[in-house]
Amino acid sequence: MKRFSLQTLIGIVIWVIVIYYLPVQFGDVPESIPTDEVETEVPLSTTEANTIPAIGLERYVGQSFKTFKDQFGEPTTEYDIGNDEKLYQFGNDATDYMQVTVDDNVVRSLINLGSQNSSGFFTMDMTIDNLRDEVDPMAKIEIPFAFSEDEQTDDTLSFTLTDHQLLTIPIISFDNETYAILWFNPINQKEEGMFFVDAWTLSQLTIYERNQAYLPQNTEQPIAVNNPIFAQIWLAMVNIIRESHDLNPLSESLPLDELAGQIINQGEETYMPSVLLSEQMIRSYVSEQITGNQWQYIYNHQIANHGELLSYVFEEPKLMKTILDPSLTEVGIYYDGQQFFSFFDQGSASEELSVKE
């Protein structure tokens, strides 16, 4: 009886050690780990506003232009675009090109097309899936604004992005009240550019669906860039993009510049000012001027700046294919402060127009 009781007691002690002591020392290893206990990487967009820390080029938006130059040196080109606003180009090729718009010595917007100019969480050639590993792009952007000088209270301007825009020109919000429009090539789905803006510049863009039909008013709103300067900057950007795809640069053609202007002006005379020209209208007029049909064009009737124009191009596969067409050699450009027309050709149209003169 005593022997049995002693064996029983020893068995109980061993059982207690196995059940309670060993799991504490060596850990209990279950056959499967519950889903809610698996550690996952938390996206950077953890706030309600879907903002991420400003640690890249967006840091310079809203800062003094001197701060930017202290980091990147002197610009390669300077343009006076009116109303004390200036545009500066940095870099000379597809590896380092940037464009900075400055108002009252403060950086208002920044375009980056340089392949070696990484910016915080964003790098060239990243895919939309790479981006979503870092942050979910916002399908709706809200900006508080006073919509007239008479109103003392702020209203809210909101943009809504389509599913396609979320894949090609998504907007990212930063914790310093700046924004980035990331440009993903609709053909290869890789990032090829970045457009950093302050709230005011973003409010002037019309490429996204908005809840307000009119723009926020500002008595110091910059005047439109005149056509020659706008054309030079646009051509530089187009050739940077072509260079990044190992394509030859385009040259500007004076006869094609004039033809682009005639298309816009003829449209206003024939129809009415600010009417959106259809492809049929455009091709009908061009067919009266030249016989060739190898030309292409980019047209938009409401463009505020180069960043908006490139956003428009990156959104549309057809327009990006035009920019990257290896057969094209010349371009004509017209911009009247709102309507934009860029006429692309292989050289025959320019020769034919020159003969007519």
Q: What CATH number is associated with residue 273?
A: 3.40.33.10
Q: Is the pLDDT of residue 9 over 70?
A: no
- For helices 279-287 and 254-270, angle between their N-to-C axes, nearest 10 degrees: 120
Q: Is the pLDDT of residue 147 over 70?
A: no
Q: Return the closest-CA partner of residue 190 out of 246, 117, 126, 94.
A: 126
Q: Helix, strand, coil proportions of the chain in percent (round to 5)? A: 35, 25, 40
Same-domain status, 264 and 157: no
- State both tokens at 302: 């409401």
* 100 domain residue, yes or no: yes
User: Rounded to whole angstroms, how far apart are CA atoms 39 and 25?
Assistant: 23
pLDDT of residue 215: 56
Residue whose tokens read 């292989």: 346
User: Percent of the chain having pLDDT more than 70?
Assistant: 76
pLDDT of residue 134: 81
Same-domain status, 239 and 310: yes
- Name the residue range of residue 245's domain: 227-356
Total domain count, the chain: 2
Rg (CA), the chain: 29
* 1 domain residue, yes or no: no
330: β partners: 251, 345
Cα angle at 324 between 165 and 267, to 5 degrees? 75
The single-letter code of the amino acid at 350 is S
Q: Look at residues 180, 210, 240 and tell me which one is the last residue of a structural domain.
A: 210
Same-domain status, 206 and 231: no
DSSP secondary structure code for residue 70 in this structure: H
Split at pLDDT 50, 70, 90, the class of 41 is: very low
Cα angle at 97 between 95 and 101, to 5 degrees? 160
Which residues lie below 8 Å from residue 72, measured CB to CB, with a gap of 6+?
Answer: 90, 98
- Whole-prediction pTM: 0.79
* 18 domain residue, yes or no: no
